[in-house]
Amino acid sequence: MKTLTSLLLVLLLAACGGGEPPKNVNVGDLAPTFQAVRMDGMAAHFPAAWTGQPVVIRFWADWCRYCAPEMKLLDTIAARYRDQRLAVIAINVGQSRKTVVDFMAKLDVGYPSLMDEQAKIAKSYGVVGLPTTFFVDAKGVVRGKIVGEADEALFVRHIEALLR
């Protein structure tokens, strides 16, 4: 069932947009701006809410088998770089507020999760699979991108490069 849900999400992401070619945000591109709803119902605006900070943007869903352990790992890694103002934003793709709130409470991580129930933000970033992680510098430029599973060494390598 989760595989079917994954496939449907990928097809949904690909089908959105009524004829527009899918975007593909890559290293060197300016990160797309967006507005999303936080778990507490308040709006969050990127990049305004994180101006001048390097940001890791993580697209996820609760059915993604790599997402939970990697989100915990990212929380641990982010704590190491807190003095360098590194921020992490999790963006849930296509799920309800209740699902997001319950999942994030279970994870108990220190960074926010935003909701992208219609997958518009994911589409603007060219996300075609979950998890997908972007590393954005303090000027809003994408400096790294991971599609799929990652380990601690890969996350740290991207974060170290982002902070240079």
Rounded distance, CA 98 to CA 148, Å? 25
Structure tokens at 26: 């890559």
CA 161 to CA 5: how far, in whole Å?
A: 34
11/27: higher pLDDT? 27
Number of domains observed in the structure of the chain: 1
Tokens of 123: 């589409």
Residue 14 belongs to domain spanning: 2-163
pLDDT of 103 > 90? The answer is yes
CATH number of the structural domain spanning residue 116 = 3.40.30.10
pLDDT score at 20: 55
Q: Residue 95 to residues 19, 38, 61, 116, 128: CA-CA distances in angstroms?
A: 24, 13, 7, 7, 16
Q: How many CB atoms lie within 10 A of CB 26?
A: 10
| Lowest-pLDDT choice from 16-20, 108-112, 142-146, 147-151 | 16-20
The pLDDT tens digits of the residues spanning 48-98 come to: 999 999 999 999 999 999 999 999 999 999 999 999 999 999 999 999 999
